[in-house]
């Protein structure tokens, strides 16, 4: 077995297990911590796909900024008080799992029915070139300049909106 | 060499786990985390296709998705804080003031 395959298996199993634990663990803080590990495993998978820039951004933005925001709000809202609301609604959970497995079957069927996985193979020189920050930046500031500016405006609006919403008292 | 199928299957599985989380959990913040899980699985699909086809557009799109996700989390958590101030709960079964 190659090193890449071993790494893929390791990162993929970490991602799967932590995703499941994020959903099933009772305490929201534990969920958030499992989600951080999941984001770390995804960052490793991006590295395996030689997307270096996105791998670093995943750690900084998701595992850093977004999860800090989640944990901050969780600590602020005293999540342990909510524990009594988690009444076991067994019927609904079983139904949700059945729906999920059905959807997964559909997706897996679609993936295996198309022969795209067998026909394409990764060209390591090409994919290493496009994952680099220089290549991404070059494309971002020339061809995709307008979406880039638009996303900057979206972030500005979201910042102002978050401040306004959390400040005002709704009634 | 790892096939594209494996990345797609992993991404599909993570998406389904996120879906089940949205359907079963009652804490609004955990529902948000499950949505993040689904966004990330879509990102993994984008990066896998981008790397296998040698096209940079998929990775640029993931960059934009990350920015939108950051904005979404900021606004969503602000809404949750505002609701918690009013109703003193984040249980989505009790937040039904928009229900007709």
| Residue B96 to residue B32: CA distance in whole angstroms | 17
What pLDDT band is residue A35 in, cutting at 50, 70 and 90? very high
Predicted confidence at residue A53, as pLDDT, reads: 92
CATH number for the domain that contains residue B42: 1.10.287.3510
Residue A116 has pLDDT above 90, yes or no: no
Q: Which fold has domain A3-131?
A: 1.20.120
Using an 8 Å CB-CB cutoff, list chain B residues near A147: 64
Predicted confidence at residue A85, as pLDDT, reads: 52
How far A110 CA lies from chain B's nearest CA (Å)? Answer: 10
Which residues of B, range 24-63, sit inside 8 Å of A by Cβ? 24-27, 29-30, 32-34, 36-37, 40, 43-44, 47-48, 50-57, 59-60, 62-63
> B29 with A73: CB under 8 angstroms?
yes
- Total domains, chain B: 1
Question: Which residue did the predictor score with more confidence, B15 or B84?
Answer: B15
Query: pLDDT by residue (tens digit) across B25-43?
Result: 888 899 999 999 999 999 9
Residues 6+ apart with CB under 8 A from B75: A158, A161, A162, A165
| Residue B31 to residue B76: CA distance in whole angstroms | 11
Cβ pairs A/B, distance under 8 A: 236
Q: What is the domain range of residue B55?
A: 4-87
Examine residue B49 and state whether it is found in any structural domain, yes or no. yes
Question: Hey, are the CB atoms on A93 and B24 less than 8 Å from each other?
Answer: yes
> B35 with B15: CB under 8 angstroms?
no
B87 touches chain A (CB under 8 A): no
What pLDDT band is residue B98 in, cutting at 50, 70 and 90? confident
Examine residue B100 and state whether it is found in any structural domain, yes or no. no
Looking up tokens 């096939």 gives B3
CA nearest neighbour of B35 among B97, B99, B92, B100: B92
Query: pLDDT by residue (tens digit) across A126-153?
Result: 777 888 889 999 999 999 999 999 999 9
Classified as helix, coil or strand, B27 is strand
How far B28 CA lies from chain A's nearest CA (Å)? Answer: 10
Residue B23 has pLDDT above 70, yes or no: yes
């Amino acid at each position: 077995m190659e090193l890449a395959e071993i790494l893929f298996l390791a990162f993929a199993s970490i991602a799967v297990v932590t995703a499941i634990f994020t959903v099933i663990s009772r305490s929201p803080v534990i969920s958030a911590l499992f989600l951080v590990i999941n984001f770390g495993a995804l960052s490793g998978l991006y590295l395996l796909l030689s997307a270096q820039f996105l791998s670093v951004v995943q750690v900084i933005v998701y595992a850093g900024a977004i999860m800090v925001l989640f944990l901050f709000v969780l600590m602020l809202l005293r999540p342990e008080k909510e524990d009594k609301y988690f009444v076991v609604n067994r019927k609904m959970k079983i139904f949700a799992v059945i729906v999920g497995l059905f959807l997964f079957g559909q997706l897996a069927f679609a993936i295996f029915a198309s022969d795209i996985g067998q026909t394409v193979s990764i060209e390591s020189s090409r994919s290493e070139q496009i994952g680099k920050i220089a290549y991404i930046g070059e494309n971002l500031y020339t061809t995709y300049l307008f979406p880039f500016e638009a996303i900057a405006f979206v972030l500005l609006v979201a910042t102002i909106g978050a401040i306004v919403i959390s400040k005002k008292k709704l009634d | 060499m790892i096939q594209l199928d494996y990345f797609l299957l992993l991404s599909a599985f993570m998406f389904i786990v996120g879906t089940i989380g949205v359907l079963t959990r009652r804490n609004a913040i955990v529902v948000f985390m499950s949505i993040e899980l689904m966004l990330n699985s879509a990102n993994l699909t984008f990066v896998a296709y981008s790397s296998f086809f040698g096209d940079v557009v998929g990775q640029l799109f993931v960059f934009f998705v990350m920015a939108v996700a950051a904005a979404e989390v900021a606004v969503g958590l602000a809404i949750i804080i505002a609701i918690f101030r009013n109703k003193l709960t984040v249980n989505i079964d009790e937040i039904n003031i928009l229900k007709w």
